[in-house]
Amino acid sequence: MILLIAIIIMAIILLAAAIYAIIQKDLLYAVIATSVISLILSIMYYVLQAPDVALTEAAIGVALTTIVFIITIRNTERYEGKKYIKVGKKIIKK
Amino acid sequence: MKKVIILTLLAIVGYYLIDVFAQIPFGVNRYEGQNVRDFYLEKSKDDLHVSNAVTSIVVNFRGFDTLGEVTVLFLAVTALGSILYRRREDAHKGVVFFSASKIVRSGAHLLFAPILLLGAYVFIHGHLSPGGGFQGGTIIATGFLLMLLAYHDYRVSHEILSVVESLAGLTFVFAGLGGLLLGKAFLENFLPIGTINFLFSGGIIPIIYIAVGFKVGAELTGLLYTMLNEKEYKKS
């Protein structure tokens, strides 16, 4: 029973993080949200008795994918859309 | 003329592909009367003495697929490196996000060795406990990532990485060829299988998984190092 409640809470957080990652215009926050998704997924894999997949998801999804996305954001643009523009080191509204 | 030759070759290849695929029965249970799941579980327990059935399937029964998987990872990292890696004088001056504080640097220094140890543990015990070469290699790459973020003048030698990676790949292939030389199938076990649940068990499975761990760790470390030292893209 406790396990079921925990899984339901985790699933709700998972969905919330996924929706947040889609609607967020600041891509850095969206990437952190996807990393939260991976973290919860890895806990769920472990609960569902797949520890091998849980290890992979924890190492790749939480750490490596996140850092690769963050490096990409640093080298390109942080904000989605054309509402903001980067001039030098400042971010100003168009 | 050239087009005719190409079309003929394509037709021959297509004919044999269709011929092979036509011989595979579609929607028919080819394992009538025998359960594949039980077969794998029994085989990995009795014939290989491996307690982690996932590892025995990935490395032994489906070892050729794993070789292809490792090759795919190698090709992806090579392509990325060939795009991003540039040998320059100012290559090491590229700022990593910001210079880390003393607390972060000391913590990274303290945690670096335990993370590497954890990764090595995961891939050495791949046939006994959950995890294996891919997971262990990724954990090792995470340890290097911590050092790269904490010390922005931390350097990783690309030469050592490529040597480690090539040796690991060769170990995998030669471990497979060993079975072929002794009159068995490619990647078939040819070493003594030992006692179940002990470290020295499973024949060539631990050897292959250690090689995969080194290979994945070296590749991902090189990838992160290359990406972090890529200078900021200047928009025109």
Chain centroid to Cα A36, Å, comes to 5
| A60–B138 C-beta distance less than 8 A | yes
How high is the mean pLDDT of chain B?
Answer: 86
Residue B191: count other Cβ atoms within 10 Å of its Cβ. Answer: 15
Cβ-Cβ contacts under 8 Å, A63 against chain B: 138, 142, 145
Measure the CA–CA gap between B167 and B171, rounded to whole angstroms.
6
Task: Please report which confidence band the pLDDT of residue A71 belongs to, taking 50, 70 and 90 as the band edges.
Answer: confident
Put simply, the chain A residues between 19 and 58 with a CB less than 8 A from any chain B CB are 51-52, 54-56
Chain centroid to Cα B54, Å, comes to 15
Residue A87 parent element (H or E): strand A84-87
Assess whether pLDDT exceeds 90 at residue A38: yes
Assess whether pLDDT exceeds 80 at residue A16: yes
Task: Please report which confidence band the pLDDT of residue B141 belongs to, taking 50, 70 and 90 as the band edges.
Answer: very high
With DSSP H G I counted as helix, E B as strand and the rest as coil, what are the percentages for chain A, rounded to 5?
70, 10, 15
Per-residue pLDDT, B201: 86
User: What are B98-126's pLDDT values in tens digits?
Assistant: 678 899 999 999 999 999 999 999 999 99
Average pLDDT over residues B3-31: 88
Nearest one of B225, B201, B213, B223 to B119, comparing CA atoms:
B213
DSSP at B95: -
Per-residue pLDDT, B88: 54
Assess whether pLDDT exceeds 50 at residue B85: yes
Q: Where are the domains of chain A?
A: 2-93
Q: For residues B23 and A17, which has the higher predicted lDDT (pLDDT)?
A: A17
CA distances from B230 to B81, B157, B161, B224, B236 (A): 10, 16, 18, 10, 17
Assess contact for B179 and B125: CB atoms under 8 A: no
Average pLDDT over residues B202-210: 90
Put simply, the chain B residues between 34 and 73 with a CB less than 8 A from any chain A CB are 52, 54
Cβ-Cβ contacts under 8 Å, B135 against chain A: 52, 55-56, 59
The SS3 of residue B125 is: coil
Q: What percent of chain A has pLDDT over 90?
A: 47
Does residue A6 belong to the interface with chain B, where contact is any CB pair within 8 Å? no
State the burial class of residue B108 (Cβ atoms within 10 Å of its Cβ: 0-12, 13-18, 19+): buried
Does residue B128 belong to the interface with chain A, where contact is any CB pair within 8 Å? no
Task: Please report which confidence band the pLDDT of residue B236 belongs to, taking 50, 70 and 90 as the band edges.
Answer: very low
Average pLDDT over residues B137-151: 91
